[in-house]
Amino acid sequence: MNKKMYSTIEVSKILRLSRIEVFRKIKSGKIKAEKVGRNYIIAENDLLEALGKLVGPSKKIRIENAVKRAVREYGRTFKKLAEE
């Protein structure tokens, strides 16, 4: 991947999805895209995030919140498991 931006057709080929499914993922927010005229373009980092090869800022925040909640709810259990 040497390009900076990808078309929906290119993304559909890379992800092995139909172009319509790519549009659905864009509409639902699973793939970040920028509208240019009547078409969408997807930045390389957003494509890598969709592929699961990159953790974006929004996912990082969700992961951090999940870890904090787990420590808050199961902190004692984690400590006991660590002692074993």
pLDDT reading at 16 higher than 60 = yes
pLDDT band at 1 (very low <50, low <70, confident <90, very high): low
Token match 């199961």: residue?
74
pLDDT digits (tens, 9 = 90+) for 26-49: 999 889 999 999 999 999 988 888
**CATH number of the structural domain spanning residue 26:** 1.10.10.10
CA angle at 49 for the pair 20 and 34, rounded to the nearest 5°: 55
pLDDT band at 63 (very low <50, low <70, confident <90, very high): confident
Query: Per the structure, how many domains does the chain have?
Result: 2
Same domain, 45 and 28: yes
Nearest to 36 by CA among 8, 67, 70: 8
Residue 2 is predicted with a pLDDT of 63
Same domain, 20 and 43: yes
Same domain, 74 and 33: no
Pairing of strands 34-36, 5-7: unpaired
Residue range of the domain that includes 76: 55-84
Same domain, 13 and 33: yes
